[in-house]
Structure 1
Amino acid sequence: MWLSACSAGDGRGGAERPADLWDESTIARGEDVFRRHCAICHGERGDGRGARAGSLSSTPRDFTNPLWRDGAEPEALFHTISHGVAGTAMPPWASALSEEERWDVVAHVLNLGRE
């Protein structure tokens, strides 16, 4: 999945990053949303090995890979979660998840592999 570099408030789904993005409760809420909606493709651990991963046309992102994670921008990830990725199995979640839930998922995903 390709993550565009976008800044908050640029009109591409980049709502302003919440101040509590790295708060433990935000990360925990994000883990809950991730397990309910994302793990089927990205895996429970976020390693890209979900139950549906093998049947997809492209491999889901391995969020535990430090090469990806350390360069990931929260706003770009929020945009990808909100709008999906054209030509892949990554759907847009803006109509299914609230803005807060999408930011919670961002916090959880960027915390994967750091525990």
Structure 2
Amino acid sequence: MSRTLALCFVFVGLTTACGGDKGSDANAAAVAEAEKVWQERCVTCHGADGSGNGPGAAALEVKPRSFKDPTWQSSVDNERIKKVIVEGGASVGLNAAMAPNPDLKDKPAVQEELAKKVRKLAQ
């Protein structure tokens, strides 16, 4: 192995070990923000376990979706889930009581983490 190549490996190793991987920090921030959004906004209607039985659900004429439903899970893709999260239920022909979250429009990583959360609730 040439000396230059060896030095490149050492540099990459040191950069990574010393916090050079900013992608991990960004992902951790997106995961944390998604969890905060879930707890503060979603749990109210969908419930902590995603069954659609949150404390606000009782007051709704149309009950919130249960994310535990395997038929629904297989019928929808992540892009639709993210669209509903950002633009609200009415944007895809669902109930307008599913409020939009326009502050998440420019946060694709947070949207992705919320979609992952919705998927994990079915497991």
- With the shorter chain as reference, the TM-score category is 0.5 to 0.7
Q: Which amino acid aligns with 1:88?
A: A
Map of 1:79 onto structure 2: 83
Change (3 A) 1:85 1:35: same
Q: How does 1:26-105 map to 2 (within 5 A)?
A: 29=32, 30-86=34-90, 87-95=95-103, 98-105=107-114
1:68 CA displacement: 0.6
TM-score using structure 1 length = 0.67
TM-score using structure 2 length = 0.63
Figure out how many residues of one structure are paired with residues of the other and give that number. Answer: 91
Q: Which amino acid aligns with 1:89?
A: A
Higher RCO structure, 1 or 2 (CA under 8 Å, sep 6+): 1
Further displaced range: 64-73 or 47-56: 64-73
Please provide the CA RMSD for this pair.
2.5
More helix by percentage: 2
Q: Percent identity?
A: 28
Q: Which runs of 5+ in 2 are unaligned?
A: 1-27
